[in-house]
Amino acid sequence: MSGEISIALAQINVVVGAIESNVDQIIAFAKRAKSELGCDLMVCSELVLTGYPPEDLLLRPGFHARIEQQLKRLCEEVTDIDLVVGYPKKTMTGLCNVGALIQGGSITHEYAKMDLPNYGVFDEKRYFVTGDQSCVIDYRGVKIGLTVCEDIWHEGPVEQAVADGAELIININGSPYHANKITERRDVVCDRANKLDTPVVYVNQIGGQDELVFDGASFVTDENGKVVHQMASFVEGLSSLQIAKQQDAIRLRGSEMVEELPYLQSVYEALVLGVRDYVTKNGFSGVVIGLSGGIDSALTTTIAVDALGPENVDVIMMPFRYTSDISKHDAHAEAEALGIKYHVVSIEPMYDAFVKQLAPIFEGLEEDTTEENIQARCRGLTLMAFSNKTGRMVLTTGNKSEMSVGYATLYGDMVGGYNAIKDVPKILVYELARYRNTVSPVIPERVITREPSAELKPDQIDSDSLPPYDILDPILELYVEEDCPPKEIVAKGYAPEHVSQVIRMVDRNEYKRRQAAPGVRITKRAFGRDRRYPITSGFKPKIDW
């Protein structure tokens, strides 16, 4: 028997741009991989030195000087275990997205990513040039092909590595989460391994980065496309894989096999991780939320508590003359169930003061949504004042359905630093609330079953202004996420009047979405990084049935 290797898979939660502390983490993980697991080689994720995606930090000269310094430190401080790490590197042809092998304190092999993604949330062609050479390393008798992320999604790079003699593929990744992405990712890699008759070690980044969440879920598949090692999703981790070469065959023995999370739990864990990392990585002391007694703020508050702990979450109930007793009771009940600080600040006096001051310039004008928006802006002002005074960031509470059609008030209920449910359609909000109550009953049942209302005027309900959510959400999915033409949406069974209403609302509210807080991405096409439309646009979809 020859070519026996023990490989550590390292899911490390790094911070974009924090090169020094990222290297500190790599060194700490390497020490554990050697002392606790006895591994020969530790594999990290794509661009682990800088975090992914570093975006326009890559355009700053000082950024690359620090990378070189810290890469040198990494080589000097880790000499008893070999490393596969990712980093950006300037070359004669341009900047490359590199995966490298460090052996005995020296960089012995470097590979430049060949397939650069430039769709959805990815814009790597803005920064990197394409590599054109495979990298096959004879490592302790096993020929390893080194690849980076997108290389394994399309034919070419991996096939070239196998043609050049690779018996095992190591693929390092910065692959962000969306619902069902873990299954999709694994299917692609397993199919590639099976077709090429070559095992694959797939290591992915973990952690939240602005709107993106990286789920980890690193895994290993044998030459038949069977998963033999599966790490957990949404948590940091270090695990070992044993590789033995027997004659010409590679044998793998994993040490971990974690089951895939059910759909709702997976989405919920992504939201929790996204909120936790955004708040903590940006140095906030905690969060404050306007808890209204409605479903959106209820779910947001629960996510925040699960992410940060009850001691780091404040909520403020801001009643007005239209706020029902039910809302007041349910908000207080949830705050008690979660064990969080609950404040009550009536907006009645400040609303009356605003209206009185505005009366001279409003003379002769009828009441309309302006007065409703003043209520929302009084609440926004209250939350921001509390944030300024305490250092707690405001978590805003608008869901994807509302963000899509502009059913929100600028500088009112849209105010805040981050939005946990920005990419969560309303129907999914209800499903996630019910799921979370199966863990522990913290959201009052009445909050889930009540007719949703903004409570900005007497007897108001959302369906006064919008189609029912079981109609609205599917239309939005077709138009926003799939770019489906109006005629095709109608052909799927939706009423022309609903389709035309929704499309008009989506298109005219781009200016609002552009000013909205960032939020966790959990769908294939979120507002922000994914869907980029001009605010000023003369293009209108043809609505002809």
Angle at 307 between CA 385 and CA 8, to 5 degrees: 140
CA separation for the pair 48, 206 (Å, rounded): 10
Both structure tokens of 308: 């940060």
Q: CA torsion sign, 493 to 495 to 499 to 502?
A: negative
Quote the pLDDT of residue 188: 95
Identity at 379, one-letter amino acid code: R
Quote the pLDDT of residue 88: 97
Residue ranges and CATH numbers for the domains of the chain are 2-256 (3.60.110.10), 264-514 (3.40.50.620)
CB hemisphere CA count around 64 (13 angstroms) = 13
Smallest CA-to-CA distance from 223 within 246, 201, 208 is with 201
Q: Angle, nearest 10°, between helix axes 19-35 and 61-77? A: 20
Global model pTM greater than 0.75: yes
Both structure tokens of 422: 């920005």
pLDDT beneath 70: ranges in the chain:
1-3, 544-545
Quote the pLDDT of residue 3: 65
Q: Distances from the Cα of 453 to the Cαs of 203, 324, 510, in angstroms?
A: 45, 10, 23
Quote the pLDDT of residue 24: 97
Kindly compute the dihedral angle of the four CA atoms of residues 473, 414, 208, 185, in this order, to the nearest 10 degrees. 20
Q: Mark whether 378 is an active-site residue.
A: no
Quote the pLDDT of residue 163: 96
CB 421, CB 517: distance < 8 Å: no
CA separation for the pair 499, 193 (Å, rounded): 44
Across 216-263, the runs of DSSP E, i.e. the strands, are 219-221, 227-230, 237-246, 249-254
Angle at 443 between CA 438 and CA 444, to 5 degrees: 110
Secondary-structure breakdown of the chain: helix, strand, coil percentages, each rounded to the nearest 5: 40, 20, 40
Look up tokens 């090169």; give the residue.
19
CB 490, CB 496: distance < 8 Å: yes
Q: Which of 44, 89, 96, 113 is catalytic?
A: 113
Quote the pLDDT of residue 456: 78
Quote the pLDDT of residue 217: 96
Q: Which of 39, 44, 149, 190 is catalytic?
A: 149
Q: Report residue 83: phi and psi, to 5°.
A: -130, 145
CA separation for the pair 454, 431 (Å, rounded): 20
Quote the pLDDT of residue 2: 54
Q: What is the DSSP string of 460-501?
A: --GGGTS--HHHHHHHHIIIIIS---HHHHHHTT--HHHHHH
Radius of gyration, alpha carbons of the chain: 26
Q: Report residue 322: phi and psi, to 5°.
A: -95, -5
Look up tokens 């092909």; give the residue.
145
**How many of the other CB atoms lie within 10 Å of CB of 453?**
19
Q: Which of 39, 44, 46, 426 is catalytic?
A: 46
Smallest CA-to-CA distance from 237 within 520, 6, 42 is with 42
